[in-house]
Amino acid sequence: MGKVEERSPSVYSEGVGHAPVKRESGILSKLRAFEARMDAKLGIESEAISRKLPEDKGHVPWHHQLNMFFLWASGTMNTSCFATGFLGWEFGLTLRQSIIITIFASILGGAATGFAATFGAPTGLRQISVSRYAFGWWPNKVIAALNTIVQIGWAAVACITGGLALTAVADGHISLIVGIVILAVVATIISFFGLKAILIYERYAWFVFFIIFIIFFAETAKYTDNSTATELKGADLSGMVLSLIAIVYGSSASWQTMASDYYAHYPVNVSRWKVFLMTTFGIAIPTSIGMIAGCVVSFGMNNRADWKDVYETDGLGFLIQTMLYPRGFAKLILTLLVLSGINVNVISIYSAAISCQQFSRPFARVPRFIWVLLCFAAILGLAIGGREQLSVYLQNFLSLLGYWSTQYFIILFSEHVIFRKMNFDNYDLDAWNDPSRLPLGIAAGVAFAIGIIAWIMGMVETWYVGPLGKLIGSGGGDIANEFTFIITGLVYIPARFLEKKIVGR
């Protein structure tokens, strides 16, 4: 038991930094001892949130560095992205408009995540720990909580879409709830074993889904409707375009609050441009492939009334089964698509558990595998509760992800570029777990709070349309990301100058 605590005093101690470790007894101590034994035998990563020191990092060969791309390809090229691709059709846009928006917004959101990923190798820290250098000790707890919600939400979406596929494979003999449970259980088991197992799994999983979406294009593209013009005009058209941009951007940008989790083990001198570009396009390209496949199929329903009837009556899984030929082959594809939900869940559950450990020091003492199990329970509840309203879920959830992810980006970017001069030597990395040496976070907290007001004013959701969003077209136009980007930046930069001048850190 004592050995577990001695190896990571900065995480488990009552003090800060390198304060003496307070030995404990009781259930948590026994659980951590069990986790340490499992780590020694199976490598389940018992000290996931500890900083990875430069001298402890090994060489990462070039073929393993391809994980910078493949990890995200496996996590994003899935049935959730495919389902999101239907939204352009539902919004009344044309196929061409939907595809252009998908590509543009995916790259934009992917770039935000790519920037966040560049912090992992130089700092050796997970993304939520990196955030402390801008948000401070206390406001950063809000970021940890939001990130947990994001990852659990993503996993729930993946469970629903994967469950729909599994239900269709079984011709309805397996209920959607059972499908959701199966996906969540399998992903939880993989996440339990930690980063090493995740990287191995995700390195190869993407290829299966790349082939599947190529098959989708090959079998359905001939039916898609690329000639019907949109009935939307003027402000109504602008409103729908802005709303779809917000959704697709939110899908890609939301990964940034976990990005460096998967780069902390890389050597300090790894090229940050390589990290940025491979992460950006590792998200943007696969996301675009999945969503464009959804665009093609959804607009195909204009020419295939039978597809539309199946989609509206029985859901996404049965639509896939109907549109592919022959039927036995369609069932095979659906079976493989079930695994795509596991890909997302593996990443999301892992990062959600790490975020939970960073709420507070008492939470850090709870072993990671316990948080994995608690996240599993939350995912089940959310997925089962939202299983009948997938389209509404996607519209609301993905937009909300983008709003606060935009705030996170502008604060992190401003801190790094303006106040840290883009130099990691200006970060006191030994202080990552010491509140007395981190920023107070007043500037970030105030900017984040005011930024929330900004995106509430500009948001467009099925349950609420902000006063600024209402001004664009009859259905509203989502300008929450644009507005909160400007407002958060305008508040944070002068407030941070003032904070540094008065407080000195």
The per-residue pLDDT for range 126-135, each reduced to its tens digit, is: 999 999 999 9
Confidence of residue 389 (pLDDT cuts 50, 70, 90): confident
Question: Residue 66: exposed, middle, or buried by beta-carbon count in 10 A (0-12, 13-18, 19+)?
Answer: middle
| Tokens linked to 241 | 């375009």
Question: For residue 137, what are the contacts with CB-CB under 8 A and spacing of at least 6?
Answer: 435, 438, 440, 441
Is 85:227 a contact under the CB 8 Å cutoff?
no
Tell me what pLDDT residue 10 has: 43
pLDDT, position 2? 40
Kindly report the length of the chain: 505
Question: What's the whole-number mean pLDDT along residues 429-443?
Answer: 95
Mean pLDDT of the chain: 88
Neighbouring residues of 493: CB distance < 8 A, sequence distance ≥ 6: 414, 418
Q: What sign results for the dihedral spanned by CA atoms 341, 343, 349, 352?
A: negative
Query: Which pLDDT does position 391 carry in this prediction?
Result: 62
Whole-number percent of the chain with pLDDT over 90: 60
- How confident is the model over 133-164, as pLDDT tens digits? 999 999 999 999 999 988 888 888 888 888 88
Amino acid 434: pLDDT: 94
Comparing 26 with 129, the larger pLDDT belongs to 129
Judge whether residue 16 has pLDDT over 50.
no
Q: Which residues pair with 409 in a beta bridge?
A: none
- For residues 37 and 43, give the distance between their C-alpha atoms in angstroms, rounded to a whole number: 9
pTM here?
A: 0.89
CA distance 67 to 446: 37
Tokens of 197: 């197992």
Whether 15 shows a pLDDT value over 50: the answer reads no
| CATH number for the domain formed by residue range(s) 59-389 | 1.10.4160.10
Q: Given this model, what pLDDT does residue 25 score?
A: 60
Cα 387 to Cα 156, 170, 175, 334, 383: the distances in Å are 9, 17, 11, 18, 6
- When pLDDT is cut at 50, 70 and 90, the band that residue 326 belongs to is confident
Tell me: pLDDT of 170 over 90. no
The answer, yes or no, to whether residue 34 has pLDDT greater than 80, is no
Q: For position 159, what pLDDT does the model report?
A: 87
pLDDT of res. 27? 84
Q: Classify burial at 116, counting beta carbons within 10 Å of its beta carbon; exposed 0-12, middle 13-18, buried 19 or more.
A: buried
Reply yes or no on whether the pLDDT at 312 is more than 60.
yes
Which DSSP string do the residues of 372-419 spell out, in sequence order? Answer: HHHHHHHHHHHHHHTTT-HHHHHHHHHHHHHHHHHHHHHHHHHIIIII
